[in-house]
Structure 1
Amino acid sequence: MEDTVESTFPKIISVDDHVIEHGRVWLDRLPAKYHDVGPRTIQERGTMQFVGGVFSYEPSDDGELCDWWLYEDKRTPQTRLSAAAGFSRDEVKVTGITYEEMRKGCWDPKARIEDMDANWTDAQMCFPSFPRFCGQVFMEAQDKVLSDLCVKAYNDWMVEEWCGDSGGRLIPLTITHLWDADLAAAEVYRNAARGVRAVCFSEIPPYLGLPSIHGDYWEPFFRACAETGTTINMHIGSSSKMPSTSADAPAAVGSTLTFGNAMSSLTDWMFSGWLARLPDLKIVYSEGQIGWIPYILERADNVWEENRAWGGFGDKVPEPPSTYYYRQIYGCFFDDVYGLENIEKCGVNNICFETDYPHSDSTWPHSKTVGEKLMGDLPEDVIYKLVRGNAIKLLDLDFDK
């Protein structure tokens, strides 16, 4: 059996990886008058601490060397957690890092392709790093004229430079204007016109001080995505708030509960009415794993049936919530034995594989071996769907056609 799986395991199309933007992404694209306030990097020595989810920094001649992003009046460090590829697990710590110390595939597209080849990976879709997982850095900035330019500059770099010469192997994933739904919609249309089929969004917008998805505020953005076949991709942490239990809980508690926001967000979407109003809209949950999905679908369907008199969803959700999940929602995994044991309830057409390069959870360079171990007992047609087929259909990729 192992030899059969070894010879037939499909080439991976990963829907959740990450790019470390090089230091001139914005300098190369912003007007010169913004070069002193727009995103730029500086390298210096200092002592870094990470307490309560907040980085603090003190300059120090004998401290560690680190590359920092500067933007308006904020400083953001490059850390080994985000550029962990090539380091052993024991070396992956909350510590500063320079571009020179990173594996080149973190920020160079040609080197990324080489690392994909070493990992049995045909194609990747990468989330941003400095802008954070849905571009909320630009939403939080003071100068929204500059923010608009920064969003467009990132997307131009993503499409033209990061993905441009990859022959389709690097799949563009754009950010948008979180502070203005009409601008967000216009940016979706702009990028869709050049073939982009994926955009980042927050799993729980109110955590960012934004309107929830239960009203009409986001209608222009959601409609633009539905009309252009642009998938909405929500990474864990894209609300800038991760689940935990207390301020003094160890990081391991939050790490164990990373799926929590995805589960809450999925419930939001199933009862929002948007999936019924826009049946062509597709949404994706990245890095949340999948083992929790069958229960929340069962619970949502039960609530829909038993609590409809007071549930508050009225006529917005005419069918059981799981109907919309199986029709329009995708989950992703990189290591989830329980979820795969229940793949029929998770949905063989709703799940995609991911490698999470170059983050600390990444299975690189052993993603094929991990995949074979996880999926080796599944039928070949199901393996194909999980490893690449579902991603091809979801993102309208020019593979296997």
Structure 2
Amino acid sequence: MDTHASTFPLIISVDDHTVEPAGVWQDRLPARYRDTAPRIVRAPLKEMSFLGGRFRPVMGEPGDEGPLGDWWVYGDLRRPLTRLDTAVGVDRDEVKLEVITYEQMRPGSYDVPARLADMDVNHVQSALCFPTFPRFCGQTFTEAGDRELALLCVRAYNDWMVEEWCGPRAQGRLIPLTLIPLWDPESAAAEVRRNAARGVRAVAFSEIPPHLGLPSVHTDAWDPFLAACDETGTVVAMHIGSSSRMPSTSADAPPAVGSVITFANCCFSMVDWLMSGKFERFPNLKVMYAEGQIGWIPYILERADVVWEENRGWGGVADKVTRPPSELFAEHVYGCFFDDAFGLRNLDSIGLGNVLYETDYPHSDSTWPKSREVGEAQMGHLPADVVERIVRGNAIELLELTSDGLWQGPA
């Protein structure tokens, strides 16, 4: 572990990412699924674009010209590994939308010992990691035609996450985040309880489920899942893009437009939850917004309170939201950030207990290997005890880590 003289606390990152090794599903599913389960194929790229928030890759045939990359093949899906999946260690000007192989990425992206070494370099003690191939809340399996196989894939991923990625080699420094079968809330509840029994306290969910063709949080459809989270203390973790639709303004808007306004999905989602009545029905429920930053939160809370106070009668929420949304936020919602000086200057308007720190390793937005330096620069005006809570204390409490900031596994 880094022993730098800095007094900046060791970081607990609540939003990093894992690039799944090639054998995650091939090694865990019954033999009869070997030819249909997700698998890696090395093939050339025919064409690829990322415009208007839509990612469109086309895999070439063997022998075609074009750069070679490693592709996940699953049913009709052909999804390449790209430089945007793992950009750390590459000069910013060299980070482009291109296909890559495992050999072309930093080993810490997929290898546990290498990840721990990269965490040491970055003053990070522990990290919660979102998926890559399944996408941020398992949309890949939700869209699959064979639901029996998809459910097995969700469970296999969760087994790999708990037993391998966060297994003994991780030394308690990797914190599990599991998936659910989004198409079946009852099965989702069962999967939450199965994983909670082995110490998991976070589950991925979609920021805006209707974008995936699923019910909204304003319906009762999700109640079995939410009840399971409420009962087990499992945090509902929503990453930007977990609705498979990144914010944009037009079909031809360059990725830079969407990159500036990524927080918008979190903003819309948070208002949904605050006006849904779910926090009053499930009083122990907690939700967190990964990579959404926090500077936008104060105005949204102000506006939500005004609407609730003045317009709740005709606004359709009087019978289910009986307290000001800002109060519900304080008890149930966490914003996650890695680079938000404005938010930190307005911390009193957000709430010290409602913010979490992240490094976004290994994505192009990541502050690795200088997350400590970024944190020191942006939090230098804050008292040491406040910095401690933001950088690790809130995460320890929310994710039920040990007092030393480690995941302890099954009780």
Q: Is 1:372 aligned to 2:376, yes or no?
A: yes
**Of the candidates 321, 324, 334, which is equivalent to residue 317 of structure 1?**
321
Please, which of 210, 216, 236 is the counterpart of residue 214 of structure 2? 210
State whether structure 2 residue 339 is matched by structure 1 residue 335: yes
Q: For 1:129, which of 126, 129, 132 is the aligned residue?
A: 132
Give the equivalent residue in structure 1 for 2:58.
56
CA RMSD of aligned residues (A): 1.2
Is 1:90 the equivalent of 2:108?
no
CA distance in 2: counterparts of 1:359 and 1:27, whole angstroms: 26
- Alignment deviations for residues 252-285 of structure 1 (CA, whole Å, 9 cap, x no partner): 1111110001000000000000001111100000
d(CA) in 2 for partners of 1:51 and 1:118? 32
Match for residue 183 of structure 1 among 181, 187, 210: 187
**Partner residue of 1:220 out of 224, 243, 266:** 224
Instruction: Give the equivalent residue in structure 1 for 2:39.
Output: 40
Mapping 1:2-401, distance limit 5 Å: 7-52=6-51, 53=54, 54-59=56-61, 61-165=64-168, 166-400=170-404
TM-score by length of 2: 0.95
Measure the CA separation in 2 of the matches of 1:7 and 1:94. 36
Residue type at the aligned position of 1:323: E
The SS at the match of 1:182 is: helix
The Cα of 1:51 is off from its aligned counterpart by 4.4
Contact residue 12 and residue 392 of structure 2 kept, 8 A: yes
Superposition deviation, residue 315 in structure 1: 1.9
| More divergent stretch after superposition (238-247 vs 54-63) | 54-63
Q: Give, in whole Å, the separation in 2 of the partners of 1:260 and 1:57.
A: 31
Q: 1:48 touches 1:95 (CA, 8 Å); kept in 2?
A: no
d(CA) in 2 for partners of 1:400, 1:118: 19
Structure 1: state its 5+ residue gaps: none
Post-superposition Cα deviations, 1:39-70, rounded to whole Å, max 9, x if no partner, equal 00011233332143222333464421200000
SS at structure 1 position matched to 2:237? strand
Gaps of 5+ in 2: 406-411
Contact (CA 8 Å) 1:27, 1:38: kept in 2 or not?
A: yes
SS in 2 for 1:349: helix
- Measure, in 1, the Cα distance between the counterparts of 2:66 and 2:249: 33
Give CA deviations for 1:304-338 in whole Å, capped at 9, x if unaligned. 00102201012211110011100111000000111
How far apart in 1 are the matches of 2:173 and 2:286? Answer: 22
Identity of counterpart residues, as a percentage? Answer: 61
TM-superposed CA distance for 1:142, in Å, is 0.4
Contact 1:12 1:387 in 2 (8 A): yes
Report Cα offsets for 1:124-154 as digits up to 9, x if no partner.
Answer: 0000000000001101000000001000000
Counterpart AA for 2:32: K
Instruction: Work out whether residues 45 and 99 of structure 2, in 8 Å CA contact, stay in contact via their aligned partners in 1.
Output: no
* Alignment partners' CA distance in 2, 1:138 and 1:397: 29
Q: CA deviation at 1:248?
A: 1.5
List per-residue Cα deviations over 1:203-259 (Å, max 9, x = no partner).
000000000000110000001001000000000000000111111122111111100
Q: Structure 2 CA distance, aligned partners of 1:73 and 1:34?
A: 15
Change (3 A) 1:51 1:336: closer
Tell me the amino acid that sits aligned with residue 180 of structure 2: T
Contact 1:48 1:96 in 2 (8 A): no
TM-superposition CA deviations, 1:316-372 (whole Å, max 9, x none) = 111100111001110000001110110111110000000000000000011011110
TM-score by length of 1: 0.97
